Every structure is written in structure tokens, then in C-alpha cells.
């Protein structure tokens, strides 16, 4: 099935897979059998039954064999749980806070912080301690924790800090079990030996997590399946696999394994490390992962790519994510700076809309959209550098977006999973620029657009540049494209009926006063906030300057333009304006314009 090995036949000839003793406070999802077309081992296909329909996450070759069929048991909606606040928790995935410090005293402080932050479990990283007296310190830590404890004593050969002998290390973990630990983490390499040593003496309450860490890549589905089987055969109560994302599509294989492993009710912690693996840490709540890790503060991570607990709970609404939750996100590179998840997730929560919006660091937009082809991956914002490439990925493109040659919004139709591309950039930006011109002329708004007849200089010939050039031309402006690569500027200028020049020549381009300047590049965006696309002295010829960059809100370009007497329009205005149309396409609901402005007024 799915090109996976017969795990039981290969690793447990009698079919006696070790029984996973799940945590007593958690209810496992119910199980349903669904028919599944056979796929070759090179394909990545995930089928999960939600309460409404069976959906598929697939990356399959057009020539993939579909000759034989099989059946696989997969998880459906889990029971909803009551949270401390009285709200409904839609998943059983625990939030675990890594506790790492040089002293036990510092750890005790972090244990208190973990409880107040909303964690449900703490991972105490013994390998981070500078001085350690096992018996005394373990007692102190267990007594001090108001949350269930997971003890990890990670050796250097598995990515940790412990550099001593394994016998002492494993003795310490056995002692932690005797003293009342709820979980211990043991590496696969030593798990057989460890579990053999506790046979017949293991405390009933303590569960053994057997873990494997791959800091190089994410293996194939077949290799991951074999790994799960080896971990189970080692006596694991809970399977933990952490791999590294070289591409965001790698995460699909971990989702597949997480869901498939629930066939035998094996709790799985499936984490894909790195920024490209962020979705594994959030969507594990959707796909049935046992736990996810959230840090107490930004940067204090025990593995690459960990979000903070605050982000999990407040930014991504983690406890509201369930099997039926629709997935949205912003596709870009870079993408971590984007405020889109903040905006949309708060709006989703306010409207009671069952969706989550994520940062999606994507290298190849076509590959991403092909891999995550389920209708549960329902819509995407698209930013630099993928707006133009995304056009070719869509089954249909809105006429305006087609004229522009770029899309910033992709919707997956629920009835047939076809992709539809739109462009809302030009509306948000042009409206903001028009408002800025009207305000600078005492609000006069009669008749034609204030852009009519204006010389409108666009910096950049990418997706956003195309959108603004198109929008300005539609309003009657005379458009000039300035770009680092002159040929690209000329190509866009010829398409929309304008003029072109290289960015290097823009400094001396001053045919008239009162021009409008629009920067659509990433120049000046965090972290390179000291950069600007044009020298300050050249800005005196512009009556209005717009910058699509909104992190920071006041860029160097805008600050210097204002000092030169120009009206300035922040990229935040474009960001909010384009978000109206996207939100309505994502949800089918009217955009909460006042809420959007209230949210973004803080930034």
C-alpha cells in the first residue's frame, strides 16, 4: 500500500507490534477504513478522512500506476476536548515547552513560565545543565513542575550537548522514571538496550519516547516507514522522528507517516526542522501528531524552526486547529517577515471561520501546489518572487491578473481542486496612492483619477511592479519602469505602453516636477533597513512616494521622501487594501475592514 513496506511482516513476523501505551489523559482518534489507489514508492500521497469528506494530499506522476487498490485505516475527527478556559479544543496534540538552562534554579523558573504560557508538557533538557547531581536535581525538577515532565538527556552524537558515557546517561533516565517522570526520551541507537534494562521494572505511569533525528534531510516515505517500524520494534510507547526540510514539500512525507501510523494507534511525534518545516509544527494538530514543541521565548530553541508557545496559541490559534480546518498561507521567499498570518488568523478567529494561515517558505511554487493538492489546502497569498510563476500554475486566471502577468491570490475550488489566480495588489496600492494625492490637494475628488496625466515611475518589473504599472496606466498615468535589469524594464514598458530606464539612471531622471514614485522591490525591507532604491536628492522632483515594503512601516525611502516635502504612502496601505479581496475569496465573507486596520495599527 502506498509503496510502503509491510512493517509488521518485516519487523515483527508474528504480527505482534509492541503495544503503544498512550498517555492516559488523551483519547486517540476514531478509525475509519477508506479505499486507496496504489501509488509507487516515489509518490507522496496522503489521504485523511475528515468529518465532511476524504481529502488527498498528493504528489504523483501523471504516469503513476493506478492498477491495484488497497485499503488503509486512517484517523477521523478526534473528540473535542474542553480547555481550561472553557473553550473547545479541537485537537489532542500537546504543546511541549523545552526547558534548557545551565542551572537547576534557572530551570525551575522556566518550569513556572511554561505553565503560565499555556504549555501542557515540559521537556527538561538535562544535557543543557553545567553541573548536575542526578538524584537530588531530578527530585527538585519533578517536584517543581506543575506540568507533566519529559526528560531528555541528548548526547552530542544525536545533536545534544552531553559528552559523557552512555551508561551514566541511561542510568540517569532510569532514575528519572523511578522518581516520577511522565516521559523519557531515548535515542533509537540505544533504545533496545534501554528497554531491555527496564523490563519488568518500568513504572506504569512513565512512557518511553524512542527518537530519531536527521539533521541532513527528510528520507523517502519508504525509509520513514521502515524507521517507524524499527522504533516500534525497539519497544517505543511513542515514536518520535525529527528530520530536516530541504524543501517545504518534504513535510508532506511526515504528514503521511503521522496519519498512516495511526493504523496501529501508535502515537507519533513527527517534526521537520528548519523554517521550511514550520508547517509540520503547526499542522501536526490537524494530522494527529502527539505533541509539538513551542519555546518560551523567541530564539531559545532546542531544535531549528521551533515557534514560540505564544505564536502557536495567539498567532496560529493552535487549539482551534482540527482535522476539518482549512489551510491557507503566504507563499514567498523570504516570507518570515510577513504580517499576513497575524492579519488573517485574527480575522478567521473573530468570524468563527475554521481556517489557519501560515508562513510558507517556498522554493518552487509549482512543486508546492502539486504536492499539497488537497482541497483542505484551500488558498494562498503569493508574494516575492513567485507572483509571475504562479500564473502558469493556475487552471484559470482572472482577466485582470492575466493582463498584469502576475497573481497574488490563489484559490483552490472545493468542488474539483482546480486553482484560480487573481491579482488584488493593484487595487490596494492604486487606491492608496489616489487617496494620498487627493489628501495632498485638500481632498478634491471630482472627475477623473488624480493619477490621470501624472508621470508615474515604477521601481521594479516583478509581479508587484506589473500590478502597479497596469493599475496606473488604467487610471490614465504616463508610466515609466525603472529596473536593475534594463531588458526586463523594457519588456514590461512595451507590454503596458510606457517607457523604460535602468535603476542606475533613475537618479538623474527628472523630466518634470510633481511625479509619482512607487517602489515595488524588496529594497529597504527588514533586515536591510538602511538600503534605499534612489538617492535622497533625487526625491525632490516627486509629489508622492509609495513604498510597497511595509516591514518596517517607515522605510528609509519614505523617511527621506517626507523630508523632501513629498506626500508618502506606506506599503501597509497596499497590504491592507489587497487583503480585503483575498479574505473575501478565502472565506466567502465580507472583509472586516475596521478589524484589519485595528490589527495593523499596532505595527
The predicted model gives 57-61 an average pLDDT of 37
Q: Is the pLDDT of residue 79 over 80?
A: no
Phi, psi of 462 (to 5 degrees): -85, -160
State which H helix or E strand residue 134 sits in.
helix 134-144
Residue in 89, 240, 326, 386 annotated catalytic: 240
Q: Is the pLDDT of residue 51 over 50?
A: no
Length of the chain, in residues: 603
Residue in 425, 473, 541, 547 annotated catalytic: 425
- Report pLDDT for 39: 30
Q: Is the pLDDT of residue 329 over 60?
A: yes
Catalytic (active site) residue 240: yes
For residues 114 and 116, what is the distance between their CA atoms, to the nearest angstrom? 6
The predicted model gives 166-178 an average pLDDT of 97
Q: How confident is the model at residue 262 (pLDDT cuts 50, 70, 90)?
A: confident
Catalytic (active site) residue 402: no
For residues 364 and 205, what is the distance between their CA atoms, to the nearest angstrom? 46
Q: Is the pLDDT of residue 71 over 70?
A: no
- Report pLDDT for 60: 30
Tens-digit pLDDT profile for residues 220-244: 999 999 999 999 999 999 999 999 9
The predicted model gives 16-29 an average pLDDT of 32
Full-model pTM: 0.82
- Report pLDDT for 65: 26
For residues 293 and 302, what is the distance between their CA atoms, to the nearest angstrom? 9
The predicted model gives 131-153 an average pLDDT of 98
- Report pLDDT for 11: 30
- Report pLDDT for 298: 85
The predicted model gives 421-435 an average pLDDT of 93
Per the prediction, the chain carries an average pLDDT of: 86
- Report pLDDT for 82: 52
Q: Is the pLDDT of residue 23 over 70?
A: no
Q: Is the pLDDT of residue 33 over 60?
A: no
Q: How confident is the model at residue 588 (pLDDT cuts 50, 70, 90)?
A: very high
Largest CA distance in the chain: 88
Catalytic (active site) residue 19: no
Q: How confident is the model at residue 304 (pLDDT cuts 50, 70, 90)?
A: confident
Q: Is the pLDDT of residue 411 over 80?
A: yes
The predicted model gives 325-340 an average pLDDT of 96
Q: Is the pLDDT of residue 13 over 70?
A: no
Q: How far is CA 188 from the centre of its chain?
A: 28
Q: How far is CA 562 from the centre of its chain?
A: 36
Residue in 90, 213, 256, 541 annotated catalytic: 213
- Report pLDDT for 396: 98
Tens-digit pLDDT profile for residues 353-383: 999 999 999 999 999 999 999 999 999 999 9
Residue in 90, 256, 359, 387 annotated catalytic: 387
CA angle 577, 583, 589 (to 5 degrees): 120
Q: How confident is the model at residue 263 (pLDDT cuts 50, 70, 90)?
A: confident
Catalytic (active site) residue 310: no
Amino acid at each position: 500500500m502506498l509503496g510502503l513496506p509491510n512493517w509488521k511482516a518485516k519487523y515483527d513476523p508474528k504480527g505482534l507490534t509492541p503495544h503503544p501505551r498512550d498517555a492516559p489523559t488523551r483519547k486517540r482518534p476514531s478509525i475509519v477504513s477508506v479505499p486507496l489507489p496504489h501509488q509507487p514508492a516515489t509518490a507522496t500521497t496522503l489521504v485523511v478522512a475528515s468529518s465532511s469528506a476524504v481529502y488527498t494530499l498528493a504528489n504523483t506522476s501523471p504516469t503513476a500506476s493506478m492498477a491495484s487498490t488497497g485499503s488503509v485505516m486512517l484517523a477521523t475527527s478526534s473528540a473535542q476536548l474542553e480547555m481550561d478556559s472553557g473553550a473547545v479544543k479541537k485537537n489532542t496534540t500537546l504543546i511541549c515547552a523545552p526547558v534548557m538552562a545551565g542551572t537547576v534554579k534557572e530551570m525551575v523558573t522556566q518550569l513556572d513560565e511554561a505553565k503560565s504560557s499555556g504549555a501542557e508538557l515540559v521537556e527538561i533538557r538535562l544535557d543543557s545543565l553545567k553541573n548536575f547531581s542526578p538524584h537530588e536535581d531530578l527530585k527538585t525538577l519533578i517536584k517543581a513542575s506543575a506540568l507533566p515532565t519529559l526528560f531528555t538527556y541528548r548526547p552530542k552524537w544525536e545533536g545534544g550537548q552531553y559528552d559523557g558515557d552512555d551508561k551514566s546517561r541511561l542510568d540517569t533516565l532510569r532514575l528519572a522514571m523511578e522518581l516520577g517522570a511522565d516521559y523519557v526520551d531515548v535515542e533509537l541507537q540505544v533504545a533496545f538496550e534501554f528497554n531491555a534494562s527496564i523490563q519488568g521494572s518500568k513504572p506504569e505511569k512513565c512512557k518511553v519516547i524512542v527518537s530519531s533525528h536527521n539533521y541532513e534531510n527528510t528520507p523517502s516515505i519508504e525509509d520513514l516507514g521502515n524507521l517507524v517500524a524499527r522504533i516500534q520494534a525497539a519497544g517505543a510507547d511513542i515514536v518520535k522522528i525529527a528530520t530536516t526540510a530541504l524543501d517545504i514539500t518534504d513535510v508532506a512525507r511526515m504528514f503521511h507517516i503521522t496519519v498512516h501510523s495511526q493504523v496501529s494507534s501508535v502515537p507519533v511525534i513527527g517534526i521537520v526542522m528548519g523554517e521550511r518545516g514550520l508547517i509540520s509544527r503547526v499542522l501536526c494538530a490537524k494530522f494527529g501528531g502527539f505533541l509539538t514543541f513551542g519555546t518560551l521565548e523567541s530564539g531559545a530553541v532546542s531544535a531549528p524552526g521551533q515557534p514560540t508557545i505564544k505564536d502557536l496559541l495567539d498567532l496560529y490559534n493552535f487549539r482551534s486547529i482540527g482535522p476539518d480546518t482549512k489551510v491557507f498561507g503566504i507563499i514567498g521567499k523570504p516570507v518570515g517577515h510577513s504580517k499576513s498570518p497575524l492579519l488573517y488568523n485574527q480575522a478567521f478567529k473573530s468570524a468563527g471561520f475554521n481556517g489557519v494561515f501560515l508562513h510558507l517558505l517556498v522554493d518552487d511554487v509549482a512543486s508546492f501546489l502539486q504536492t499539497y493538492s488537497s482541497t483542505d489546502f484551500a488558498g494562498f497569498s503569493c508574494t516575492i518572487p513567485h507572483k509571475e510563476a504562479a500564473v502558469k500554475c493556475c487552471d484559470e486566471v482572472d482577466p485582470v491578473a492575466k493582463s498584469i502577468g502576475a497573481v497574488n491570490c490563489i484559490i483552490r475550488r472545493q468542488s474539483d481542486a482546480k486553482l484560480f489566480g487573481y491579482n488584488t495588489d493593484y487595487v490596494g496600492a492604486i487606491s492608496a496612492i489616489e487617496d494620498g494625492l487627493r489628501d495632498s490637494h485638500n481632498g478634491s475628488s471630482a472627475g477623473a483619477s488624480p493619477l490621470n496625466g501624472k508621470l508615474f515611475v515604477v521601481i521594479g518589473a516583478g509581479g508587484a511592479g506589473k500590478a502597479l504599472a497596469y493599475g496606473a496606466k488604467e487610471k490614465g498615468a504616463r508610466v515609466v519602469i525603472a529596473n536593475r535589469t534594463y531588458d526586463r524594464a523594457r519588456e514590461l514598458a512595451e507590454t503596458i505602453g510606457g517607457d523604460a530606464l535602468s535603476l542606475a539612471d533613475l537618479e538623474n531622471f527628472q523630466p518634470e516636477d510633481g511625479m509619482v514614485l512607487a517602489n515595488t522591490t524588496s529594497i529597504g525591507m527588514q533586515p536591510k533597513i538602511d538600503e534605499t532604491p534612489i538617492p535622497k536628492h533625487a526625491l525632490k522632483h516627486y509629489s508622492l512616494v509609495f513604498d510597497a515594503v511595509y516591514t518596517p512601516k517607515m522605510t528609509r525611502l519614505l523617511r527621506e521622501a517626507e523630508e523632501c516635502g513629498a506626500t508618502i504612502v506606506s506599503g501597509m496601505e497596499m497590504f491592507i487594501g489587497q487583503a480585503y479581496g483575498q479574505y473575501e475569496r478565502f472565506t466567502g465573507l465580507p472583509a472586516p475592514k475596521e478589524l484589519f486596520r485595528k490589527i495593523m495599527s499596532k505595527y
